[in-house]
Copies of this chain bind each other. A is one copy, B any other.
Amino acid sequence: MPKILPVSYENKFSYNIIIRNSFDELLENIIKIKDQKYEKICIVTDDIVSGLYVDTIKSIFEDKFNQVIIFTLPNGENSKYLGNIEKLYEELITNHFTRRDLLVALGGGVIGDMTGFCAATYLRGIDFVQIPTTLLSQVDSSIGGKTGVDFNGYKNMVGAFYMPRLVYINTSVLKSLSEEQFCNGMGEVIKHGYIRDKAYFEMLKDHVNEVLALDDAYLEDMVYTSCDIKRNVVEIDPKEQGIRSYLNFGHTIGHAIEKNSNFSLYHGQCVAIGMVAAMYLSVKKGWMEQKDLEEMEEVLTSYHLPIRADHMTVEDVFNASKSDKKMDGNKVKFTVLKEIGVADSYMDFEEDELKEAIAYVLNLSSK
């Protein structure tokens, strides 16, 4: 049975998230989006996902639409820049795409963010659908309408809030991921438990084996619960003026580490390390206990996630976190934990405190 999560935007229905273990209901859900049928479809994908699913998806569409074209980018974060958006614009112009046509993002977060940004800005906005193929994009980046590209090394510096018309999640594709790729997504999944749902966190802690074995029932429930947490947060605060920033738990220092690793570490891995730093600060402030920090390190490790980074300096990570766009005016807006399942924002960390937490996850003293 497919699970359906309707997502509202500004108190009106905006789009459905469909969670299934096949592509069987993709076509009917795209046709249902609006009364008038789309004329042409451009599938945007990367050169790894392309080999796995693009033929399947193309054959699903081919009979029903006038034209199906495929635009393929090299896999990876390095593709996420404006030059590639311009190439996609050119492809759409060459094929006379108009607002009656549809973009389909088939891939991970990079593909979803870029396709969304292109959809937001081509002809001032055309429709797009997300078909996320990594755990990270299924539970996180495909939901909530954040689109964007990196700019001069700054992650998602350029972007738009722009809602997809459908998010179609086929959990069976997760079985084609490497363990490292799968566990990368677990960084965000575990974060969802920490910021909003203690019982979910406990489930993840107690059922590592089932989850890592990609047990179908656990997988579908897990993806559903994570999507539901994200849905709930972005419905309350679509433009990140309040609680949406809780989703940044682990991200301020995590992004800075990601940048300093030159993106050799995966996003979810950096979020794991960033959560450890944020937990360290929460312990330091007396909101959480040392045992919570230890438990976090154990759980992350059980999901093969790193809890420390190396080959970088405190100063470099600190400077990168300051220039991260989570900055609100001159203060770093930091997401902390008050309890497991209860996040909060804190604006008043001193430079020394932040550096101490960074030093902790770099295995360095702060001096």
Contacts and interface: CB of A to CB of B under 8 A. Distances in A.
Interface in A76-103: 82, 86, 89-90, 93, 96, 98-100
Contacts of A39: 329
Contacts of A239: 125
Interface stretch (A153-161, A218-226, A297-305, A349-357): A153-161
A145 to B, nearest CB: 9
A87 B212 CA distance: 46
Contacts of A323: 93, 96
A82 B93 contact: no
A152 interface: yes
Contact of A90 (B148, B152, B159): B152
A298 to B, nearest CB: 36
Nearest to A86: B82
Contacts of A121: 117, 121, 158-160
Nearest to A124: B159
B160 A160 contact: yes
A146 B123 CA distance: 10
A47 interface: no
A325 B157 contact: no
A93 B157 contact: yes
A96 B160 CA distance: 19
A93 B99 CA distance: 32
A55 B239 CA distance: 35
B160 A99 contact: no
Given A93-B151, A96-B323, A161 B125 contact: yes
Nearest to A148: B124
Interface residues of A, number: 36
A257 to B, nearest CB: 20
A151 B118 CA distance: 13
A179 interface: no
Interface string A116-141: 01001111110000000000000000
Contacts of A215: none
Interface in A311-367: 323, 325, 327-330
A125 to B, nearest CB: 6
Which of A39, A82, A121 lies at the interface centre, i.e. has the most chain B CB atoms within 10 A of its CB? A121
Contacts of A327: 96, 98
A238 to B, nearest CB: 11
A100 B323 CA distance: 14
A237 to B, nearest CB: 14
Given A89-B151, A93-B151, A124-B148, A98 B328 contact: yes
A158 B89 contact: yes
A154 B93 contact: yes
Contacts of A117: 121
B154 A329 contact: no
A53 to B, nearest CB: 28
A91 to B, nearest CB: 12
The 3 lowest CB-CB distance pairs between A and B, nearest first, are A124-B159, A100-B329, A121-B158
